[in-house]
Structure 1
Amino acid sequence: MILDKNGLRIDDTSVSTRFSVRNQTTFNEGVEHLNQYGYAVFSDVMELEEVEENKNLLWQFLETLPPPFNRIRRDRPSTWNHWPGIRSHGVTNTYGLGQSAFMWNIRSNREVKRVYERLWNRSDLLVSFEGCGIFRDWSYNQTWKTESGWNHVDQNPDSKPNRCCVQGFVSLTDQSESTGGLIVFPRSHLRFSELQGLASKARDFVMVPSTHPIFDEGRAIGKLVHCHAGDFVLWDSRLIHCNSPATALKSNCGKVELLRIVAYVSMSPTSLVSTQYTLEQFRLEREQMVRNNCTLTHWSTELVLGGKFLDI
């Protein structure tokens, strides 16, 4: 147990239950865990060979970026200082990453869609055009360390009070306290209405102050989600969460690797598309986003550009 920068307790060492998608019983248990606790870890979504293939696709993207990032090389951490995205949060969503071969290969994974089909009980789904999350090994450079304690929800509690988005990522690395990863506050999605009034106008990104009553005067305990490479982690957008750096960084033993790689994927039913569009109009708008090499947010039923932050 540790304290985040706000003084909230975080269980960073307990192993997370993983639910295999290859067994219908465990698959259903995973869905129930998501409903009850607001998050779930589904295993056996991607074979290790596929994991390595996707890592290679990511590096191909990174190694062909334009200046000032054109010196990045996978085997030389000294070239990782100039890195695209949001350093403080470990999010990479610029330079057309959302339309890269890497992200499309992840989205096209049959098991990923099967999980979402089971969650929504329908197959007419739209996939998000998101980017990825990367933690560089900050044992090489302390300035690479990401921030913790930025607890938030990704859904407006005033205008969107019900479940209308389930976020997710496919992990290409093992994640534990030695890498850092996703922090969740289990069951907080069931108290989503208590966050009404916090949102700024129509924004879906809503910070939750550590003094808010939903944290039960500091008695609430966050959970670092542990997972393996090839797992699919999902969480309700109403769930309070953030990501956090390693709390017990281990020696890399001479291996040159990124600490954490996740590819963000969300799918939602076509019925949730805004009434300002017909479905055909919306699909045409999405096609234009693909042609323009745009990276969007987790809202697959909306057209919200990602990558609005400056690169480091």
Structure 2
Amino acid sequence: MLDQREIKITDKGRIGLYYLKKIWQYHQQLKINPAKAEKIEWTYINGVFNALGIGIEPTIKYLMNSNDSFDEFENWIVENGRISRPIIEQFNAIVSGKYSCELRAEEKVFSQSELEQWEKDGYIILRNAIPKVDCEKTINLIYDTIGANNSDPSTWYADHPLKQGIMIQLFNSPILDRNRFSERIRLAYQQLWNRKDLLVSMDRVSFNPPETKFYKFPGPNLHWDVSLKKPIPFGLQGLLYLCDTDENQGAFTVIPGFHKNIEAWLNQLGKDENPRDNNLLNQFNKKPIGAKAGDFIIWNQCLPHGSSPNTSTKPRIVQYINYQPLDMEYQTEWI
């Protein structure tokens, strides 16, 4: 039943997230009288759903097709989402305006030469983003989760419900949150965005084992995670190497510098050519990026990027981590 009382953005339930109750009420109002529904900016809806690790489309479908109470909606989120208290606290602090935007000199982690390389190539490596001991704890968590053993390669290929190719649907853990909230990773994103009011993502981990006679790399190959509708807004992505990773060890791979000419490249494609056809990128030089455990790679979202076949004898293990502002631009049309 619709709660007719005025709901403030700071009104919250047991999950404790600002805007959540107001978003629930807004969708209830939409079903009764759309003209009188108090509109909520899309950036807040998107930010709330990201903070909770719930998909936008299924959540809006649930809200529009059910008459559940707010308590029942929170129960649905607990069953289908990923509740991280540090992320909820961070979201509330940003909404409350507790983050200033100005960066101090001591908060910058990249040198001028590193930034010049970033501008040229579209990716940058933050060395020693987290301690090696935390890398080891995270690796142990991943092995335990998928029932594998670091010293027994035969266990690396077994099916598991949380495996999707080389991706593992593992999100909630104190050590994963510890990595997400690494001060150096946060400062790196803040320096590249040139602002401090950034929200951390609730992303998963990846386990890319060596190819064998019976197992071949399933992808993803070079791709983009953003719409290619022009103009493509500025955005960043990042991953944490949890183990020392050589270039032939399924390393993260990009086409350096592509962010500088992507729109010109899109303009010259024939009308029947699909920019997401991987064959169109074969003319460009790909660069696999090797790095040490604890190193963090950030790349411009305009770079074609992906994993690569692992021809070594050791797995590549990473955690994906991103920071972005609530008001980040998106192209709503997917191309």
Q: Could you state the TM-score of these two structures normalised by the residue count of structure 1?
A: 0.61
Higher normalized strand content (fraction of residues): 1
User: Secondary structure of 1:221's match?
Assistant: coil
CA contact (8 A) 1:158 1:197 kept: no
Displacement of 1:114 after TM fit?
0.9
1:156-235 pair list within 5 angstroms = 156-158=227-229, 161-163=232-234, 165-193=235-263, 194-195=265-266, 207-211=276-280, 218=283, 220-235=284-299
How far apart are residue 73 of structure 1 and its match?
4.4
8 Å CA contact 1:181, 1:224 repeated in 2 = yes
Give the match for residue 317 of structure 2. Answer: 261
Cα deviation per residue 1:103-147 (whole Å; 9 max; x = unaligned)?
322202111111111111111111111111211234xx4333314
Corresponding position of 1:285:
none
Which residue of 159, 168, 175 corresponds with 1:82?
A: 159
Indicate conservation of the 8 Å contact 2:250/2:310, yes or no: yes
The gaps in structure 2 that reach 5 residues or longer are 1-105, 270-274
C-alpha distance in 2 between matches for 1:209 and 1:222? 12
Whether 1:153 and 2:217 are equivalent positions in the alignment is no
- C-alpha separation between the residues in 2 aligned to 1:227 and 1:264? 15
1:113 correspondence with 2:189: no
Query: Which amino acid is 2:276 matched to?
Result: M
| Matched letter for residue 140 of structure 2 | N
Which residue does the alignment assign to 1:91? 167
Aligned residues of 2:134 and 2:175 also touching (Cα < 8 A):
no
The one of the two structures with greater contact order (alpha-carbon pairs below 8 A, sep at least 6) is: 1
- Cα deviation, residue 231, structure 1: 0.3
Please state which structure has a larger fraction of its residues in helix. Answer: 2
Between Structure 1 and Structure 2, how many residues are aligned? 220
Query: What is the distance in 2 between the residues matched to 1:25 and 1:100?
Result: 27
Change (3 A) 1:91 1:29: farther
1:139-194 Cα shifts (integer Å, max 9, x gaps): xx43333146832222212155121x211011011222341211111111112213
Q: Percent identity?
A: 24
Give the TM-score normalised by the residue count of structure 2: 0.57
What do the CA deviations read for 1:181-235 (whole angstroms, capped 9, x no partner)?
A: 111111111122133698xxxxxxx7244236xx6xx2x2111111111100111
